[in-house]
């Protein structure tokens, strides 16, 4: 049986930040399950960087089904956690079941990959204090308010936490996360 990895997301997540790690981890031989507030078809978005804009633009993205709802998740059954960005973390961070899930991974020292706005979720779960993390650059004050050190990097590793700024960092971010997984939870 394949080692299971949990990916937590919701509507308005960045398409690339969900589907790239999802497919990359499947390619490595892991079983990946997507959890969301409800088991339903999720609607993702595409964030792009365009000349003349002060921040990213947002366009409709892909749709993808969630495998299970947060309240159905037993985090003990998963070896690692992935938290994509986009706008989804802004509202997901308030979900008590998601906070329970995230808390488990940090308490057990299991690998966690977060990108872009994902640190909003780990901060709300009380898991960022004393850590070093990358995030979308506009979140630097949020990271500091959570008691963490912001690092402007594409594959920041702090123990079992691997983080990055946004989807352009995917190669370095996923390479670092997969290297960690191979050591702590090799695929079956």
Using alpha carbons, select from 43, 39, 84 the residue that is nearest to residue 62.
Answer: 43
Is residue 50 helix, strand or coil? coil
Strand partners for 4: 31
Cβ atoms 115, 167 nearer than 8 A = yes
Q: Is 116 a catalytic residue?
A: yes
- Give the mean pLDDT of 51-63: 90
* Phi, psi angle pair for 86, to nearest 5°: 95, -160
Helix axes 15-27, 170-184, angle to 10 degrees: 40
Instruction: For residue 56, name the pLDDT band (cuts at 50, 70, 90).
Output: confident
- Give the mean pLDDT of 129-138: 97
Tell me the whole-structure pTM to 2 decimals: 0.97
Return the pLDDT at 49.
83
Tell whether the torsion through CA atoms of 132, 136, 140 and 141 is positive or negative.
Answer: negative
More confident: 1 or 144? 144
* Token reading at 31: 């079983």
Instruction: For residue 99, name the pLDDT band (cuts at 50, 70, 90).
Output: very high
DSSP 131-148: -EE---GGGHHHHHHTT-
Residue of 47, 104, 116, 170 with catalytic role: 116
* Token reading at 68: 């299970």
- How many helices (H) does the chain have, and how many strands (E)? 6, 11
- pLDDT above 70 coverage of the chain, percent: 100
């Amino acid at each position: 049986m394949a080692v299971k990895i949990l990916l937590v997301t919701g509507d308005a997540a960045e398409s690339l930040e969900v589907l790239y790690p999802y497919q990359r981890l499947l390619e490595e031989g892991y079983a990946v399950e997507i959890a969301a507030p409800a088991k339903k078809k999720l609607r993702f978005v595409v964030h792009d960087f365009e000349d003349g804009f002060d921040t990213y633009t947002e366009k409709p993205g892909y749709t993808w089904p969630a495998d299970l709802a947060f309240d159905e998740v037993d985090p003990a059954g998963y070896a690692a956690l992935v938290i994509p960005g986009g706008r989804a973390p802004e509202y997901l961070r308030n979900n008590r079941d998601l906070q329970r899930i995230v808390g488990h991974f940090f308490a057990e020292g299991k690998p966690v990959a977060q990108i872009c706005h994902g640190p909003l979720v780990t901060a709300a779960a009380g898991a960022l204090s004393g850590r070093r993390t990358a995030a979308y650059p506009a979140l630097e004050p949020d990271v500091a308010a959570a008691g963490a050190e912001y690092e402007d990097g594409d594959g920041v590793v702090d123990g079992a936490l691997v983080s990055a700024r946004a989807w352009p960092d995917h190669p370095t971010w996923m390479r670092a996360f997969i290297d960690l997984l191979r050591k702590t939870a090799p695929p079956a």
